[in-house]
Structure 1
C-alpha cells in the first residue's frame, strides 16, 4: 500500500497499518478464551448466563455429534437461525468438526431455501423448531440426490428458562414465538434429530485438522442477475477482520456486546461474534430487535459495545421509556448498512458523548473494508480503508484511478477479501481486476475519496435496494415473482421510505387471463414465498414495461420516474 495515503494522518496512533493474524483456525479463538477465562460469561440470553467453559463443552459435544452424522472436512453445513446461544454453539461446532458454515437468513421461505441446500451440496442443516418445517419442505421438494440427509432441530426453550418470559428481557410479542415447542417435521430420505438428544450422545469430536487456508464460511450474496452466489471465505480472511476488529474497537475480556445485529449476516458473524469470542467478551443476545428490551439490556448488563443499523438507534431514541434507560456504560456505538442521519448522530454526540462510527464492507470483504477511526470519525462517511486494506476509486469503464473528489467505483485489495464465488468461475473472473500488480475486488459501489482519504458513497451503481440495512436484490425478487400464475412480467425498484430508508416496489404486467388479480393478493403470495424484507410494499400495475431495442427491461427509467415522483 502506498505509504503516502492521506488517511494515515488520522490513523489511530496506537495501531499498525497492517497486522499479522494468527495462523490457526477460528475455533482456536474459542478454545483459547475458554482456557483463559473458563468461568467468565460468554453468552447472556434472557438472564441465563453461559460461561466460556460451558460454551466450549457444548461446541465439543455438537462437533462430535456432527462427525457421527457423517460430517467431514470441508463439508458444507447449513445454519438457519435467529440470534440464540444455539447459533453460536452450532457455528463453532461446525468449524470444530472441520466443516464449513453456510449461514442462511431465517426469513427465507422454502422456495428460497432450496438454493441454499442444492448449491453448496449440503447434506446437514441445523435450525430452530419454528423454521424446521420450511427447511424440510425445501429439501423434500428437491430430487432425491440433492436432499438433506440430516436435519438438526433445537427449540428456543433448550436455552431459555420459561420463567424469564415474565421479565423485561422478554418482549410480550416474543412469548408465543419463543416459548412454543414445535413437532419435528418429516424429512424425505433423511433423519431429523432433536438438538438435546444429539448433545446427550457425548460422541467424541474428531481431530481438528483445518487451518488458516481451509474454507470456513460460505455466506451467500445476491447480485444484479440470477440466484445468490456463495462467497468463499477461508479461516484467515475472517481471522484477519476479527483480530483487526478487536484492535480497532479496543475489545477486551470485560467488553459487553449487545448482540442484536443478526449473526447469519457477515457483520454479525465477523465484527460481532468472532471478534467478541476472540476477545473473550460477553455477548448479550437479542433474538430480534425491540427497542425497550434493548434499553433494558444495555442498562442492566452495562453494555459497552453496540454494533447496529441506524434505524435501531432512531427507534430506541423515540421510545416513550427512553428516559428510564442508562446508556452511560456504552463506549462504542456504530455500524453500517445504511447512512446514520446527521441529526441523530449529533444527538448521540451531544447527549452521550458517543461518536457514531460508521463503517463499510460487503459479504465479499468479511465485513469491514472501511471504518471510521474512533478518534477522528466523520458523519455519513464510510470511513478510511481498514487495517491492511488498499482501496481506490476508479472510473468503472476505463478502470483508471480518479483524483480526490471525483466519483467512481470503489475497488478493494486486502487480506480479508474472499477467494471467489462458489462454483462460479465466470462471476469470480468479472469481480476482480489487476491494478498496480495486485488483485482488487470490484465493489460495484460508486463513491468518492476526499482530500483526507475518507470514502463516501455517491451513487447507486449496483441495482440494489437498501431496506433498513437489509440488501434486496431486485433480480432475485423478480425471479420469485415470475412464479406467480398471474404475473406476466415484473420489474422491482426502490421507493423511498421515511423509516426504512428504502422499500421494495414491484411494477407488474398481469397475464390477460388474470386481470382481476389485486395488489393485495400479490403481496400476500410474496409473503408466503420470500423473506419478509424482500416482499414488495407497493405493487403498481402497468400495461407494458419499458424495454430497450434488445428487449431488456429498462429498470433505470422506472427507477428515475419513481425518484422524480418522490421529490
Structure 2
C-alpha cells in the first residue's frame, strides 16, 4: 500500500521526498560552507567544527589514495567504536571515491576473516584496542588480503579535560605498534591532498554486512542515492533542522546509528553529542549539559535509563524526540517515559538491506509496540509467503518493500540476491522475511518472522552463523542455536549441544561459554548451553530447529 494512504500520515509532510543527486560527501562540503565554526561533533566535551571535519576527512582521503593505493570503488573496512575517527574515516573513504565496509567492533579475528576475504578490502581503519584482532590478517605479500592498517587512538580527540566521564578505552594513551600499523595522527599529519571527487549517486557508497541462513555474512550493496534517501528521510520525518542537537550512542556500524545518528545530522547541519559506550548517568548529564533535543535508543537502553534512581536529579526538558527500534518497547515503560519528559517513544522498522528505516511511527500519532507506517516513497505490501499474493487487510503475511532505499543486492552473491527479491507488477520488491499485519489506520504490527533470527537487545543474531563458529570447537559433534526468552534482552541465545563421545563429562557449559567469548562477538555468545544426547532430525537429516524453538517457548510459559 502507498504510504500517504495511511490515516497516520503526518499532515505537514508531502508524500514525495526530493533527494539530492550527489555523492554523500557533498553534504560535508555544504555544511562546512554554511556553518564552518559550528561544532559538528562533540566528543566528551571536545568540539570538532564542520570546517575542521571536512578538512581532516579530505586529508584522510588523500592518505588512502596516495599511501594505501585506494582507488574508486575499492572497499575499505571500518572497525572501531563510535568516535570522531569513525565519522572522519567514513567520510574520508567516501571522499576517496571508495566504499565503506562497517564492521561490528565486537567481532573477533575469526569473524573478521570473512569480511576481509569477501569484500576484497586491502585497507582497514582500526582502533588501537582492536588492532590485535586484525594483525593476524595483515599480509606483506602482493595479492589478496589486508595490506594497510590505519590505527586510531580515541584519546587523541580528548583535547580538553572532559567533564563527562569517558570509558577507560577512550582515555587510554596512544600505544601503536605492529606490522602494517600507521597511527591515525601520522596519516593526518601527511596532509595528502585527494584527487577529484568522482563518485556519483548511483555508485556504491557503503556495504553493511548482514547474515542469513547460510551462516556467512553478506554485503548489502548501497549506493550514494539509497543512503542519501534514508539520511534525508530520518531528519525530515521529525522536522529536524540545523539547530537540533542529537545524542548518538547507537553504534555507527549499525545502519540505525549510521543514518539517524550521523548522516542525517550532517545533511542538515546539526550537532552530534557523541558517546562511545552506553552509560546512563553520562547520557543524562549530556542531555542536560548540551540541551539535547533528539535521541535514538534501543529499548534495553531505555529500560536501564529509566531504572536510574538518580534520574530525577537531571533536567531532561530539552528532549523533543525519542525514537528507536530493534525490539518493541514495553507499554509500561512508554508510559513512564511520557510521564517523565512529556513525549512519546516513537518506534520504527528497517533492515541493513534498506539502510535503516522503511517504516516509522508519526511523532504526532504513534502507536506502542508498532512498526509504524511506510515512510517517504516506499511501497510496502503484506503478501502470503507461499503464494506471494497480497493478503486481506488485518491478516498476517510477509512484509515486502519497494523503494529507493532498498539495496542493489548482495555483494558477490547472485544466488542470495535472487532469493531476496520478487517482481510484482513490474516492480522489484525485497522480501523482508518478517511477518506482520496492518490495522485499520494503516499501521504495521510485527507478528512473527520467517527468517531464523534472534533479536538480542536489538542486535540481530543469526543462528546459522553462531553454529558455524561453534562447530570449530573440537568437542562439539552437533549444535542447534535457538532463541530463549530473556527479561532484559527480550531474546537471548541458547545452544543445544551434542558432544563427541570422548568429551562427554569432560566439557562443561562454562567451558563452552569461555570458548565462545574468545571466538565470536559478545552479543552472539550463547547465554544458555544445554547438553543433549541427540537432536531431532527430519527424514532428510536436517535438524528440526523449529521444533526445538517451539518446545523452548512452551517451557518458558509453564
TM-score (norm 2): 0.97
Q: CA deviation at 1:162?
A: 7.5
**Aligned partners of 1:155 and 1:272: how far apart in 2?**
22
- Corresponding residue pairs, total: 555
**Aligned partners of 1:349 and 1:499: how far apart in 2?**
21
| 1:7-50 per-position Cα deviation (integer Å, ceiling 9, x unaligned) | 0x321122111212011010000110000000001000111011
Q: Report what 2:131 is aligned to.
A: 132
Which stretch shifts more, 460-469 or 103-112? 460-469
- Within-5 A mapping of 1:67-466: 67-68=65-66, 69-139=68-138, 145-161=143-159, 163-164=161-162, 167=163, 169-170=164-165, 174-175=167-168, 178-186=171-179, 191-466=180-455
**Aligned partners of 1:281 and 1:420: how far apart in 2?**
32
**Aligned partners of 1:434 and 1:328: how far apart in 2?**
48
Q: In the alignment, is the contact (CA less than 8 A) between 1:506 and 1:536 conserved in 2?
A: yes
**Aligned partners of 1:457 and 1:182: how far apart in 2?**
47
Q: In the alignment, is the contact (CA less than 8 A) between 1:130 and 1:182 conserved in 2?
A: no
**Aligned partners of 2:2 and 2:357: how far apart in 1?**
20
Q: CA deviation at 1:130?
A: 0.3
Q: Structure 2: which 5+ runs fail to align?
A: none
| 1:312-337 per-position Cα deviation (integer Å, ceiling 9, x unaligned) | 11111111211111110001001100
Q: CA deviation at 1:184?
A: 2.2
- Within-5 A mapping of 1:464-483: 464-483=453-472
Q: Structure 1: which 5+ runs fail to align?
A: none
Q: Report what 1:532 is aligned to.
A: 522
Q: CA deviation at 1:111?
A: 0.4
Q: CA deviation at 1:523?
A: 0.6
| 1:225-250 per-position Cα deviation (integer Å, ceiling 9, x unaligned) | 23000000000001111111121111
Secondary structure at the aligned position of 1:130 is classed as coil
| 2:33 pairs with 1:35 | yes
| 1:481-509 per-position Cα deviation (integer Å, ceiling 9, x unaligned) | 00001101110011111111111111000
Q: Report what 1:20 is aligned to.
A: 18
**Aligned partners of 1:244 and 1:413: how far apart in 2?**
16
Flag as ranges the 4+ runs of structure 1 deviating above 4 A: none
Q: In the alignment, is the contact (CA less than 8 A) between 1:334 and 1:357 conserved in 2?
A: yes
Secondary structure at the aligned position of 1:151 is classed as strand
Q: CA deviation at 1:224?
A: 1.6
Secondary structure at the aligned position of 2:309 is classed as coil
**Aligned partners of 1:460 and 1:497: how far apart in 2?**
18
Counterpart pick for 1:47 among 40, 45, 48: 45
Q: Report what 1:541 is aligned to.
A: 531
Q: In the alignment, is the contact (CA less than 8 A) between 2:8 and 2:373 conserved in 1?
A: no
**Aligned partners of 2:235 and 2:148: how far apart in 1?**
36
Q: Report what 1:550 is aligned to.
A: 540
**Aligned partners of 1:325 and 1:117: how far apart in 2?**
45
**Aligned partners of 2:502 and 2:86: how far apart in 1?**
46
Q: CA deviation at 1:196?
A: 0.5
Secondary structure at the aligned position of 1:350 is classed as helix
**Aligned partners of 1:153 and 1:497: how far apart in 2?**
37
Secondary structure at the aligned position of 1:10 is classed as coil
